[in-house]
């Protein structure tokens, strides 16, 4: 059981003082049907709890696990430079969960500002580490638009391994195929800076467009439009961590 004030704080609705005030002013309703609660210290079982804050419906999540369809033109940074950050696409509470210096969800790995597709986000540090650590070999599938038509020799080079300028050890694709002359499907199990672009360049071609379609067993849903996000289901989180 948790005090309602603490539940709101844990979900990112402001400091404990702010949450206290929201409740006392009648801005928080709990349950279905929603009933206004005016006591910040009234205790509830948070698991499965539904509530509304200033009319905004919310469900309690002990940890946040999300997928976002990243559009082009966004940086995976809380302090972006020339482009807006992907976190601006999320509701405020997800950006403020937990409080402190590392508040909010974090991107599970990064995509370049001009790369689109599946991005996972979480506030679970262990989950982020398991999904991004090279030793767990989580496959990530990319759809690559090439400047020049590819060929079997390029595919063979990517599968055999290419040498990047800052790493003498060859970097290999886990899988690689050419569904169309200028369309390359590439699977990687590690993440280096601009890795797909640099690998394709080392193989004698150039990336004109890049889209991540899958991470592990999770594929970007066709009905999740660019800029939209949703919670991962419990089964999706389990399937990711079971194979990570």
Residue from 6, 45, 112, 166 carrying the catalytic annotation: 112
Write out the two tokens for 38.
Answer: 């005016």
- Residue pointed to by tokens 């590690």: 190
Write out the two tokens for 52.
Answer: 């509304």
In a 3-state reduction of DSSP, which class is residue 63?
A: coil
Could you tell me which of 35, 30, 24 has the C-alpha nearest to residue 2? 30
Cβ contacts of 225 within 8 Å, gap of 6 or more: 69
112 is catalytic: yes
Burial degree of 95 (CB within 10 A; 0-12, 13-18, 19+): middle
CA 199 to CA 154: how far, in whole Å?
10
CA 157 to CA 200: how far, in whole Å?
9
List helix spans (H) across 25-161: 92-96, 125-132, 152-160
User: So which residues are the catalytic ones?
Assistant: 112
């Amino acid at each position: 059981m948790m005090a309602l004030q603490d539940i709101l704080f844990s979900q990112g609705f402001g400091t404990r003082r702010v949450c206290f005030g929201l409740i006392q002013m009648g801005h928080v309703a709990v349950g279905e049907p929603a009933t206004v609660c005016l006591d910040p210290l009234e205790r509830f079982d948070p698991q499965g709890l539904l509530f509304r804050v200033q009319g905004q419906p919310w469900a309690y999540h002990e940890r946040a696990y999300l997928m976002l369809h990243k559009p082009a033109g966004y940086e995976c940074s809380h302090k972006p430079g020339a482009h807006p950050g992907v976190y601006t696409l999320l509701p405020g509470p997800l950006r403020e969960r937990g409080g402190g210096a590392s508040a909010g969800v974090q991107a599970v790995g990064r995509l370049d500002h001009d790369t689109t597709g599946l991005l996972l986000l979480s506030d679970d540090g262990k989950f982020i580490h398991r999904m991004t650590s090279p030793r767990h070999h989580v496959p990530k599938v990319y759809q690559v638009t090439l400047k020049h038509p590819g060929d079997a020799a390029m595919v063979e080079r990517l599968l055999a391994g290419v040498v990047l300028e800052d790493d003498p050890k060859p970097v290999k694709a886990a899988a690689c195929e050419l569904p169309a002359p200028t369309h390359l499907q590439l699977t990687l199990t590690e993440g280096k800076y601009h890795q797909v672009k640099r690998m394709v360049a080392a193989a004698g071609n150039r990336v004109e467009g890049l889209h991540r379609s899958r991470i592990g067993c999770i594929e970007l849903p066709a009905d999740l439009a660019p800029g939209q996000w949703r919670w991962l289901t419990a089964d999706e989180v389990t399937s990711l961590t079971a194979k990570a």
